[in-house]
Amino acid sequence: MTQPNLIEAAKSKINEKDFDGALVLLNKILDASPQHDEALYERGVLFTNQKKLDLALFDFNKLIETAPSNPFYYSCRAFIKTGLKDTDGAIKDYQYAIKLDPDDAITHNNLGLLQEQSGYQLQAEKSYERSNEVIGYNPNRYDEGTVKSVETSAGPINDIDEMSTKSKVIKSVFTKKTSFKEFLAFIKNGFKIKGNDQD
């Protein structure tokens, strides 16, 4: 079986949740070609998903050696370092990824999360602002000082409650990686939820 076929077979095994089988195939490729970028990447992601972060870090270190100008690899390694509690190393990797790709909104957001956790509030705010700028989100667009009372069958509802709920949702989108990715997918899909053809 050729290397491209082995890669495709490994990806199929990953999709089928046969991680051991995928690992056998990826190792076979890497035994023949130790610097095979796609196999290293797939194995690194596999190790990350299995919480074998030290092994994932090894693969992403090798990837960065072979492709030192790939910002995505630095972001992946930063994610792994975060899991390994190497916050300073993760911050440096996110910063370097941004140097290589200044328009990566997710990396700006993730950097902001780590800066905030580390007590660097001003830097975190700048990272969040840059992330918002890249995706075209303006948090100051809404006038939260406007409060209206709406009458319903259950009695008056104060719009400030609704605003508070919206603020929590917005904060969730920009402080949780999964929510942020879903938000970006929503934008890329023309502001439609996948599988929903209604406007």
158 lies in the same domain as 193: yes
Name residues whose C-beta falls within 8 Å of residue 160's C-beta, 6 or more positions apart in sequence: 147
CB < 8 Å & 24+ apart, contacts of 13-21: 14/42, 14/46, 19/46, 19/49, 19/50
* Tens digit of each residue's pLDDT (9 = 90 or more) over 109-122: 999 999 999 999 99
pLDDT at 139: 77
1 lies in the same domain as 14: yes
Q: Tell which of 141, 158, 179 closes a domain.
A: 141
CB of 54 closer than 8 Å to CB of 84: yes
29 lies in the same domain as 46: yes
- Counting the structural domains of the chain, the total is 3
47 lies in the same domain as 11: yes
- The domain that holds 34 is classified in CATH as 1.25.40.10
Q: Tell which of 122, 141, 160 closes a domain.
A: 141
pTM: 0.69
* Tens digit of each residue's pLDDT (9 = 90 or more) over 119-168: 999 999 999 999 999 998 887 775 444 334 333 333 333 343 443 444 44
100 lies in the same domain as 135: yes
User: Domain containing 88: what range?
Assistant: 69-141
100 lies in the same domain as 153: no
47 lies in the same domain as 1: yes
61 lies in the same domain as 74: no
* Tens digit of each residue's pLDDT (9 = 90 or more) over 55-91: 999 999 999 999 999 999 999 999 999 999 999 999 9
Scored b (16 or more CB within 10 A) or e, 15-29 reads eeeeeeebbebbeeb
Mean pLDDT of 177-197: 55
Q: Tell which of 141, 159, 182 closes a domain.
A: 141
